[in-house]
Amino acid sequence: MNKSTQILLFVLALLMLAGAWFCALVEITTLVSYHHPFTAGEIFAWVTANGYEVGDIASYCLRCVWPYWVLCSLATVALIIGVIYLYRRFLFKGSVAAFLLSFAILSPFILIPTRMNLLREGLYAHQQIHAIVQHKEDNASFMYRVQRTDTTTFPEIYVLAIGESICYSHLSLNGQYGRRTTPLLEQQDNLLLFSDYYANSTLTQHAMPMLLTPAISNTFRQHYQYKTIAEAFNESGFTTALISHCAQLMNNGYHNYLAKDFDTAIFVAHDSLIAQSIERLAQRENKLFIVTNYLGNHMFYTNRTEDCLVWRPDYNTDARFKSDSLFLNAYDNSILYTDRILNSELEVLKNTNAVSAWLFISDHGEYISPRVSGHGHTYHPTKDEYHVPLMIWVSDEYTDTYPEKVANMIHHKDEPVCADHVFWSVLDMADIHIDSTLQQEGMSIFGYTLLPHQRALLLPDGKSVMDLD
């Protein structure tokens, strides 16, 4: 073996070591943060993330995972020094065995099963992203073929509000939580909180398409076949709008392609501006369907509580030492702020004097801890990660127009429901019926009969499903 060959092999070994080092860091991060190996869920989340989300994740890693990164890096440096020693000690003398020995040192970092898993999951994530890109072309001719008899003489406004990372258990509106985190919503008339509603995913990029299309956890990839619920309202003569915090706008994610079905998409710099956007739209349009999406209560719960710092010390403000209790204070302060945001929307809707209804759900919940990522990536989710609020508010004009729907809704408030019911409930809320070949009976909260339905959670890999019942 000549010297140039030896150098080439040595460089190759170092490159393999660098790749192994990077993979090890990624693997360590997911193992520490989520307690499972790296999956397509993480790949997809990173690739489709916006700058805000990347910053949030990076901040979490710097705060919580950096000691493990340091240890991994030190071990890698030690291996590099060992390889260099072997190279200088033996390889210049033509020892092929020494090179093989150095490769053997590297092989556990390269050839372990998780590396193959990483490649496999990366391919799956690529397929999902490609499906997003192709989505608009694949379903360009899709229609829901709606049927609707317009019986109202008032303007109509229907809102599907999608929160972020809200736990049912942390809302004092439920009558059980010790802290008063929702004082304003508790004063709202005509507001109903459902007690047994489950999300169908702990990842936003999985939850959103299932909330906005007929797809469910067991048939997740079918959502690519459909347009969103906005199309059904478009066919019914409504003006449709998506109003979202700009931090939820993803590079190649679901917000980008789902937004294309709406007449207009408005991205705001702060959740507090969403109510103003609703008000402006209501002044211009007689029949309006709006989907709102918030930054909400996404960790680390910063830059969104403003003066709602009731429980202190707060993780983001006062704490020198980070603990569960301080993280809890920060989260509850963020819930208090969300209470203000949602209440302002209801006040806007009341002032329109329209036949209006507002259905709020959270895309998923939150596991509140400074040591583990709060949501989305674990294969063993806590109940707080999927037991989330479902709230419905209706105007007096809506009750006068659809008294039976309101009665049915109240009757079902303690029955087991899940995100699979949302698409059908929002359609029924507006008295919209779609093509009989697509229609699913017994899935609307506003219907007289609510048929039993299996509640399942789509796991982070986008393929596996966990039975929640």
Q: Please write the tens of the pLDDT for every residue from 191-213.
A: 999 999 999 998 888 898 899 99
* Confidence category of residue 462, pLDDT binned at 50, 70, 90: confident
pLDDT, tens digit, 9 for 90 and up, residues 62-74: 666 777 778 777 8
Q: Taking the mean position of all CA atoms in its chain, how far away is CA 446? A: 26
* Confidence category of residue 111, pLDDT binned at 50, 70, 90: very low
Closest CA to 149 of 236, 213, 65: 236
**Average pLDDT score over residue span 398-422:** 97
pLDDT, tens digit, 9 for 90 and up, residues 74-102: 877 777 677 667 666 665 555 555 555 56
- One-letter amino acid identity for 158? Y
Q: Report the chain's mean pLDDT, rounded to a whole number.
A: 82
Query: CA triplet 214, 406, 164: central angle to 5 degrees?
Result: 50
- What pTM value is reported for the model? 0.82
Q: Beta strand 390-394 with 355-362: parallel, antiparallel or unpaired?
A: antiparallel
Domain boundaries, the chain: 3-132, 142-467
Taking the C-alpha atoms of residue 39 and residue 460, their distance in angstroms, rounded to an integer, is 7
**Average pLDDT score over residue span 329-352:** 94
Taking the C-alpha atoms of residue 372 and residue 388, their distance in angstroms, rounded to an integer, is 19
Closest CA to 287 of 158, 426, 397, 398: 158
Buried b (16+ CB within 10 A) or exposed e, 245-273: bebbbbebbbbbbbbebbeebbbbeebeb
Find which of 40-54, 216-230, 267-281 is predicted with most confidence, using mean pLDDT: 267-281
**Average pLDDT score over residue span 334-338:** 94
**Average pLDDT score over residue span 15-23:** 71
pLDDT, tens digit, 9 for 90 and up, residues 124-177: 767 766 766 666 566 778 899 998 877 677 899 999 999 999 999 999 999 999
pLDDT, tens digit, 9 for 90 and up, residues 227-272: 999 999 999 999 999 998 876 655 455 566 678 889 999 989 889 9
**pLDDT at position 263:** 95
Give, rounded to a whole angstrom, the gap between the first and last alpha carbons of the chain: 64
- One-letter amino acid identity for 400? D
**Average pLDDT score over residue span 304-328:** 68
* Confidence category of residue 320, pLDDT binned at 50, 70, 90: very low
Angle of helix 40-47 relative to helix 113-138, nearest 10 degrees, comes to 50
* Residue 319 predicted with pLDDT over 50: no
- One-letter amino acid identity for 451? L
* Residue 2 predicted with pLDDT over 70: no
Closest CA to 395 of 151, 154, 149: 154
HSE (side-chain half, CA atoms, 13 Å) at 260: 16
* Residue 456 predicted with pLDDT over 60: yes
CATH superfamily, with its number, for domain 142-467 = Alkaline Phosphatase, subunit A (3.40.720.10)
Q: Any idea which of 96-100, 293-297, 414-418 has the lowest mean pLDDT?
A: 96-100
Taking the C-alpha atoms of residue 124 and residue 304, their distance in angstroms, rounded to an integer, is 35
Structure tokens of 185?
Answer: 């919503």
Q: Taking the mean position of all CA atoms in its chain, how far away is CA 376? A: 7
Secondary structure (DSSP) of 400-448: HH-HHHHHHHHHTTTS-EEGGGHHHHHHHHTT-B--TTT--TT--TTSS
Structure tokens of 121?
Answer: 């999951």
